Amino acid sequence: MRIDILTVLPELIEGTLNHSILKRAQDKGLVEIYLHNLRDYSTDKHRRVDDYPFGGEAGMVMQIEPIDRAICSLTAERHYDEIIYTSPDGEKFDQPMANTLSLNENMIILCGHYKGIDFRIREHLITKEISIGDYVLTGGELAAAVMCDTIVRLIPGAIGDEQSALSDSFQDRLLAPPVYTRPAEYKGWKVPDILLSGHQRKISEWQHEQALNRTRALRPDLLDE
């Protein structure tokens, strides 16, 4: 998989890409992630990428030209399955969407900023608009980082134990059951006996029941859907 991220603030994402599973997946050659500074595609001598909106409202709008130049330079090299724009208006990002996106070969993620981007980019260049939740971020960089992290960990081989990606919360619309490690007792707080029993079938049943109970109590909407 290859992900190209277009942004005016690459520094905001860089740290996320260079740690933990995202870094390991890149080191293993499972994913290539490239950050492109949109200012490098500006023809303005001050490297500006925004301008005042037509119609005179407050706030700045990202210009069409640097974004089009950046996207065209990438699409001239290879086919992209999706050209994604991060926006609070977009389709809500969730685990099923991450699963689908993890099957893609090449993706571009355009991070929004300022008041928005020239609408013609959304009409003519973007194939998918994604929101990570019903709140407004300062820019799309954190959304892009969240999406990359969620998608890359689903690529086979990205995490050590593939089974553990499948048993994540939400993967089967259930929250994950509680997990414990040694010591089996701490300050009198005990790990449930069943987990120490060695009886694998009973343990699995207990875990499923816990997952159901936690989902019913904390996220009943997941069961309704």
Which residues of this chain interact with ligand ADE, rule CB under 6 A? 86-88, 112, 131-133, 135-137, 140, 143
Closest contact distance (angstroms) between CB of 45 and ligand ADE is: 29
**Based on CB atoms, which residue is closest to ligand ADE, 22 or 109?**
109
Closer residue to ligand ADE, CB minimum distance, 16 or 87 = 87
Minimum distance from residue 92 beta carbon to ligand ADE (Å): 9
Q: How far is the CB of 1 from ligand ADE (least distance, A)?
A: 20
Q: Which is nearer to ligand ADE, 135 or 189 (CB)?
A: 135
Cis link prior to 220 (omega < 30° from 0)?
no
Nearer to ligand ADE, 143 or 151 (CB): 143
Which CB sits closer to ligand ADE, 112 or 177?
112
Q: State the nearest-atom distance from the C-beta of 140 to ligand ADE, in Å.
A: 4
For residues 137 and 151, which CB has a smaller minimum distance to ligand ADE in the complex?
137
Shortest reach from residue 83's CB to ligand ADE, in Å: 15
- Smallest gap from Cβ 25 to ligand ADE, in A, equals 22
CB-CB contact of 101 with 95 (8 Å): no
